[in-house]
Amino acid sequence: MSLPPFTVAVPEAGHTLAKVLRSRLHESQPSWTDVRSLITSRRVKVGDSLCTDPARRLKEGELVELLDKSVHRPKAATTDGLVIRHLDDHVVVVEKPAGVNTVRHPSELEWPDKHRELDPTLQDLALWATAARLNRPAKSLPPLRIVHRLDKETSGLLVFARTPLAERVLGMQFRKHTVVRRYLTVIPGYLAPRTITSQLVRDRGDGRRGSTNVPDLGKKAVTHVAVEEKLKGYTLLSVRLETGRTHQIRIHLSEAGHPVCGDKVYVRRRDGTEFADESGAPRLALHATELGFEHPVDGRAMHWDMPLPADLAKFVAKLRGG
């Protein structure tokens, strides 16, 4: 059985995951046993987290995804390979690998213990790596504070605040759009340099996050697009965020007719047809390559660059014909 990712609609909110899935899969006519088996066999995600509880009550706007195959069991917690680019008393900057959630979704903590997925988040790994660097027990350090996020399959630079002051000052910089955030991404075809501005909503009318033309609805999103390199049938883009809405880059590029290679969610046109991804991307081809901000305490300018990781570098080289 297959099913495109979907956003929980208003009439579905409050119903169990099993009931909503069975309704969505009506053309396949699955039994209740079939649906429960899909969930307990680790093939269903709610948001960025795997859900193995058929009785989980869904909330409006949550993203549900039926995976092609079962997901591995949670791996042992380890900080091996996590790179700390900067550490001081107020901030820590790390290189996020793909496949790790930035933070645990609050709703996951509400699930019964036996249904929780305990893969460490980047917030966990960064705290443990910080403790190791300082030669202190992790439990003796305060939790790291979230000031921005990267999608699970996005790699790149990310900063955590270590103090309430840093969290407050960095949050203000993000709200004022003074933080430098630049991404590299690969799209099919060619998209000329431009600035994309729209109002983003949770449901644009077809169950997907997207843009709306309804006045005074949604949140303003601004994405600046430049061409980094033309490839054979594809383009490596340099994308700078002015705002930082959920999935902003992926939505804007998809709505422009050039979805990010490897994206499995934002691939549907408004007429219901889907873009075909023939790129062979190893994952979502999106990487946070540049990060810059003013230090929250002493005000000095701080800046880091991170090249494409090995998997995306190899992918781009293949598209060059190299």
| Residues known to be catalytic | 151
| DSSP code, position 97 | P
- Going by C-alpha positions, the residue among 71, 76, 62 that lies closest to residue 16 is 62
- Going by C-alpha positions, the residue among 135, 255, 149 that lies closest to residue 201 is 255
The two structure tokens encoding residue 79 = 């900080």
Compute the distance between CA of residue 220 and CA of residue 245 in angstroms, rounded to an integer: 8
Compute the distance between CA of residue 6 and CA of residue 178 in angstroms, rounded to an integer: 34
Q: For residues 50 and 44, is the Cβ–Cβ distance under 8 A? A: yes
Consecutive H or E run containing 76: none
Compute the distance between CA of residue 260 and CA of residue 250 in angstroms, rounded to an integer: 6
The two structure tokens encoding residue 214 = 């309804």
Compute the distance between CA of residue 276 and CA of residue 46 in angstroms, rounded to an integer: 24
Q: For residues 13 and 59, is the Cβ–Cβ distance under 8 A? A: yes
Q: For residues 96 and 283, is the Cβ–Cβ distance under 8 A? A: no
The two structure tokens encoding residue 121 = 């988040």
The two structure tokens encoding residue 224 = 């600046």
**Sheet with 6-7, side-by-side order of all strands:** 6-7, 63-66, 44-46, 49-50
